[in-house]
Amino acid sequence: MLAAGDTAPDFTLPDQHGEPVSLSSLRGQTVVLYFYPKADTPGCTAQACGVRDHRSDYERADAVVLGVSPDAVKDIAKFDQKHGLGFPLLADRDHSVAEAYGVWVEKSMYGRTFMGNQRTTFVIGADGQIRDIHREVKPAEHDDLVLGGLSAG
């Protein structure tokens, strides 16, 4: 399991426009990498809209926000357009990045078990090291929690 101080695993995934985004290409900037279960569900929408609404706060903290889900590019594109999100959403279709970050977990709902992303946020420093990890984040608390840590760091 990854911990603060570890080097963040590099990856390249397509964004909502089908363009490749690599973590290594963002070296030199703080990256807020958040994993969410499914585009356009209530909790994921609240979390993504919170990031959208705090865009200027993330910019002031010199942080780039990336959202990652196992959704298809077309689904995250629709999610972005519907809610005017305007930040990179990444399609991790084979969940290899979620697995590398240890957030692809067994979940249960309505008596059914399945695999999916655990809502988790990694704050990655400009040097590529993980500075902070927020596991099982509540969507309504996400931005205050992450931004509070960014301003303290």
With vertex at residue 80, the alpha carbon angle to CA 74 and CA 86, rounded to the nearest 5 degrees, is: 130
Residues classed as catalytic: 44
Per residue in 93-143, pLDDT (tens digit) is 999 999 999 999 988 878 889 899 999 999 999 999 999 999 998 999 999
d(CA 80, CA 91): 12
Give the HSE-up count for residue 21: Cα atoms under 13 Å, Cβ half-sphere: 22
Q: Which domains does the chain have, with CATH numbers?
A: 12-152 (3.40.30.10)
- pTM for this one? 0.94
Measure Cα distances from 45 to 12, 99, 111, 139 in Å.
Answer: 24, 23, 24, 9
Report d(CA 69, CA 41) in Å as an integer: 12
